[in-house]
């Protein structure tokens, strides 16, 4: 088989890379959760949504029936979704660093408890507070690394979408 028969068109390759990056991010989150017992908070779950959306978008747009200009729009949309994810992760970093308060739904921010609250908590599954980083490496939390990864993916999507010669 020749090398040209094994090559993939740039527009389909970009969409496949978007799907692969999204799958990698979601897989990393699930391995951290189930493999290393690093349970996510509410904001951690919210940060997964853009990756799920870009995974589906990347898979659908890489299908042969989709034309190049439509893939180009899909890449730009994926860039927007990645940047939304980066913004959410950045907000989470601010909550972890206590630059601002997180949403009221985040467990761990209540400062007063009644005995009834404590008894009710025993009957609920464990939850993690948004202001406590489950894991840090080199001083950066998982939300911080997620922000950087989503930012790089988003900017990469925009750079790729600007390449007019890839989307024919």
Token pair, residue 145, equals 């690394």
Q: Give 110-157 pLDDT, tens digit per residue.
A: 455 567 765 665 565 555 677 777 777 898 888 899 999 999 999 999
Q: Give 29-52 pLDDT, tens digit per residue.
A: 999 888 888 788 888 889 999 999
Q: pTM of the full predicted structure?
A: 0.80
Compute the distance between CA of residue 9 and CA of residue 68 in angstroms, rounded to an integer: 10
Assigned CATH class of 8-103+129-166: mainly alpha
Phi/psi of residue 137, nearest 5 degrees: -135, 125
Domain-wise residue ranges, the chain: 8-103+129-166
């Amino acid at each position: 088989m020749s090398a040209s028969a094994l090559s993939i068109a740039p527009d389909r390759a970009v969409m496949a890379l978007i799907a692969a990056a999204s799958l990698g991010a979601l897989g990393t989150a699930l391995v951290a959760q189930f493999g290393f017992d690093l349970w996510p908070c509410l904001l951690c779950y919210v940060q997964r949504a853009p990756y799920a959306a870009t995974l589906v978008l990347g898979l659908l747009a890489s299908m042969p029936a989709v034309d190049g200009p439509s893939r180009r729009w899909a890449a730009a949309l994926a860039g927007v979704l990645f940047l939304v994810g980066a913004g959410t992760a950045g907000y989470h970093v601010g909550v972890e660093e206590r630059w601002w308060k997180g949403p009221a739904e985040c467990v761990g921010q209540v400062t007063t408890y009644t005995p009834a609250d404590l008894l009710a908590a025993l009957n609920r599954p464990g939850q993690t507070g948004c202001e406590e980083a489950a894991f840090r490496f080199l001083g950066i939390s998982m939300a911080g690394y997620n922000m950087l990864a989503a930012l790089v993916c988003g900017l990469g999507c925009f750079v790729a979408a600007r390449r007019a010669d890839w989307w024919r």
